[in-house]
Chains A and B, each alone.
Chain A
Amino acid sequence: MFRVGRSAAVAALAAAALALSACGGSSDDSNSGSGGSAEGKTLTLWHYETGNSAMGTAWAQAMKEFEASHPGVKVKFEEKGFEQIQKTASMVLNSDEAPDIMEYNKGNATAGQLSKQGLLTDLTEQATKRGWDKLLSPSLQTTAKYDERGIMGSGKWFGVPNYGEYVMVYYNKDMFDKAGVKVPTTFDEFTAALDAFAKKGTTPIAMAGAEYPAQQLFYLLALNKANRAWIDSFELYKGKVDFHGPEFTYAAQTFSDWVKKGYISKDSAGMKAEDMGVAFIGGKFPIMVSGSWWFGRMAEEIKGFKWGSFLWPGQFAPGSSGNLWVVPEKSKNKDLAYDFIDITMKKEIQNLLGNSGGVPVAADPTAITDAQNKELIENFNKLSTQDGLAFYPDWPAPGYYDVLVAGIQELINGSKKPEEVLDEIAQPYNDNLADIGN
């Protein structure tokens, strides 16, 4: 009979020896990567914005200023992938490999979740001491604060946003001129404009039913019949939401009508946001209703026609603060991290963010030079001061994004009646309310 014991031992030894000898060299540099902060001389910083985006540009400058004002401290910046941060944040922050400061997604399921697990540092004291609470408007602060259940809107500060975002209307000036359509200022004018294009055989709104744009338009329509109390009920669970109330009923009915009238193409059910953007940039649609995150790309890539943006005709629009700077509980250099956040909130950095095509939260509007950037920021400030930031429709419940995508695809396809769709999207929302004990 063959003896296993010996062969297994040999196997284990051989494998171990091979593995060890092969990566002896590599484990050295992995140690120096994170171990450098032991003396408090390195600020490890992670974010996931592209280097040439508004945030990437402004933050690169902030790192330079930080190093200048903190002699002897080096910033060790690592650009991360969005998905990696999304999927691994709780694991990383629970280990000794946590960075000193990082960008993280705002929202209950992300920053809220981590704050509940005790992985983030409470920034309340810093926010009041350094005056961040004065720089940020109340609706921007909503996403910075989380209560003990991890729900945003009240409680302690766990993050600081540097930029804002909101949904607006991008339009193709050339197509508007050619059709003799003026920039609408009221909702009636807006529908009249859509009608004018549809009558000429042009589908006016570029749409993507497979991703977020459809639910944002749906939400915009509901918001036109809503008030702040309704938004607080829907987003922050401060009251009951009737899915068959006037807001959602109007939204579902109107959305369905717009498809029937040809304002929105029936083929858009399967489109992705990228397809929608490329179609608009390619000059195939006069109107695209989407977020400020497109702005930089529009500015860079639209060559063949003149374009502009205007606020959605109504008091509210989806929007909020951008992602947050958070300080992990295991950060080894919390004071340096606070200093860094403070630098990003300074006028110079905020102005740079605005001049690079982003939406700063504390910039000096007169310092913004480019006319289009100025328009973008002024519109945001207008929306923000009229208390118009209404957050996003997929925020209230985990997995709600997919529920909304599926529901609105049915509206576009016409495979279900508006009332049926409302029932469908009400169910997961109410289930979640029961889960969190409201």
Chain B
Amino acid sequence: MNADRTFRQPGRWAVLAALVVLAVVMLFPFVIVTLNAFKSPAEYSSGGPLSLPHGLYLDGIVAFWDRVDFGLKLWNSLLISGVVAVAAVVLSVLNAYALGIGRVRGRLWILVLFLVANTLPQEALVYPLYYLSKEVGLYDSKLAVILIFTVIQAAFGTYLLSSVLGQFPRGILEAAEIDGASRRRMLWGIVVPISRPTLSVLLIFFFIWTWNEFFLPMVFLISNDNQTVPVALGVLQGEKMMDATMSSASALLGIIPAVAFFLIFQRTLTRGITVGAIK
């Protein structure tokens, strides 16, 4: 027994060491950002990015907040990501109900279409979307971005949910049908509650993905009043100059909401990933 333990230990230590190294590698950028966010520009220039700050220099964060009206940007991001997350999940559920449970004819090809649409780079979408939104008067409005991302996220959601619902236990649905439940009732009373963990995961992913989007919001949200957090961070990157300390301050401000959101919902996340269809 004793021999067994010593035999096992090196392996465990190796795993532990590997995990520690991985954690350090993952956390390193965050540490650097945090370090530099609290440094004055002069300290940064004389000591470089790795030196420790001499004191807590909060001017960078405060100045950035005022400069871009960060409160407003947070609200914009929250509104856009929130609406997109909810709308895209609803749209995905409705699509997937038809494709996964409804067994529409040609569903495989519909799914392939969704998948292809999903792999299109956003750069390819920019011009068509620009002309469309200009035609309908939605250019430079949050609604344009909300509609675009609802569709983009729902494309992925439909693809994923359709395959999940394709495995949905037939027995339950048949039982409900015998009891005389309508299709709508079956969707909202049975399918949605049972797949709730998967839906919550989708909701969280959609929120975070939309939150982090940069390119399309940059193109479609022209007025400063409409901009989201990532677009506002872009203000700091000049033509030839970058303000490293203020960029760090802004990066810190930019990731805090996403991290907070993740921490709040991380239980749901882990539960959603591990939950199976039926027990």
Co-assembled chains A and B: yes
> Which stretch of A13-21, A112-120, A342-350 is in the interface?
A13-21
Q: What's the nearest-Cβ distance from chain A to residue B210, in Å?
A: 13
How long is the Cα–Cα vector from A212 to B45 in the complex, in angstroms?
A: 20
Count: A-B pairs, CB below 8 Å: 156
Q: Is A134 an interface residue (CB 8 A)?
A: no
Please, which residues of chain B bring their CB within 8 A of the CB of A297?
41, 45, 241
Q: Are B83 and A80 in contact (CB under 8 A)?
A: no
Q: What's the nearest-Cβ distance from chain B to residue A196, in Å?
A: 25
B135-174 CB mask vs A (1 if < 8 Å, else 0) is 0000111110011001000100000000000000000000
> Which stretch of A66-74, A81-89, A374-382 is in the interface?
A81-89
Q: Is A304 an interface residue (CB 8 A)?
A: yes
A6-33 CB mask vs B (1 if < 8 Å, else 0) is 0110110011001110110011011001
- Among residues of A, the one whose C-beta sits closest to the C-beta of B246 is A50
If A19-B83, A50-B243 touch, whether A282 touches B238 (CB-CB below 8 Å) is no
Q: Which of B42, B219, B223, B236 meets A34, CB within 8 Å?
A: B223
How long is the Cα–Cα vector from A78 to B225 in the complex, in angstroms?
A: 9
Q: Is B242 an interface residue (CB 8 A)?
A: yes
Please, which residues of chain B bring their CB within 8 A of the CB of A4?
98, 102, 104
Q: Are A82 and B218 in contact (CB under 8 A)?
A: no
Q: Is A181 an interface residue (CB 8 A)?
A: no
B216-250 CB mask vs A (1 if < 8 Å, else 0) is 00110011111000010011111111111000000
A24-58 CB mask vs B (1 if < 8 Å, else 0) is 00110110011000000000000011110000000
Q: Which of B147, B219, B224, B240 meets A293, CB within 8 Å?
A: B240
Q: Is A303 an interface residue (CB 8 A)?
A: yes
Q: What's the nearest-Cβ distance from chain B to residue A336, in Å?
A: 19
- Among residues of A, the one whose C-beta sits closest to the C-beta of B93 is A11
Q: Is A301 an interface residue (CB 8 A)?
A: yes
On chain B, the number of residues with a Cβ less than 8 Å from chain A's Cβ atoms is: 57
Q: Are A82 and B98 in contact (CB under 8 A)?
A: no
Q: Is B12 an interface residue (CB 8 A)?
A: no
On chain A, the number of residues with a Cβ less than 8 Å from chain B's Cβ atoms is: 56
Q: Are B95 and A11 in contact (CB under 8 A)?
A: yes
Q: Are B239 and A26 in contact (CB under 8 A)?
A: no
Q: Which of B83, B87, B235, B243 meets A81, CB within 8 Å?
A: B235
B85-122 CB mask vs A (1 if < 8 Å, else 0) is 01100110011011001111000000000000000000
How long is the Cα–Cα vector from A277 to B45 in the complex, in angstroms?
A: 8
Please, which residues of chain B bring their CB within 8 A of the CB of A20?
143
Q: Is A273 an interface residue (CB 8 A)?
A: yes
Q: Are A303 and B239 in contact (CB under 8 A)?
A: no
Q: Are B225 and A30 in contact (CB under 8 A)?
A: yes
Q: Which of B225, B235, B242 meets A80, CB within 8 Å?
A: B235
In the complex, besides A15-B87, A81-B218, 19 extra interface pairs with C-beta distance below 8 angstroms are: A2-B102, A2-B183, A8-B94, A15-B150, A18-B83, A18-B90, A22-B79, A26-B141, A33-B225, A33-B226, A49-B238, A81-B234, A83-B237, A91-B130, A92-B222, A97-B222, A273-B240, A291-B240, A301-B46
Q: Which residues of A contact B (CB under 8 A)?
A: 2, 4, 7-8, 10-11, 14-15, 18-20, 22-23, 26-27, 29-30, 33-34, 48-51, 78-84, 87-88, 91-92, 95-97, 105, 212, 273-274, 277-278, 281-283, 291, 293-294, 297, 300-304, 323
Closest 8 CB pairs of A and B: A2-B102, A81-B234, A11-B94, A281-B45, A22-B83, A81-B235, A301-B45, A33-B223
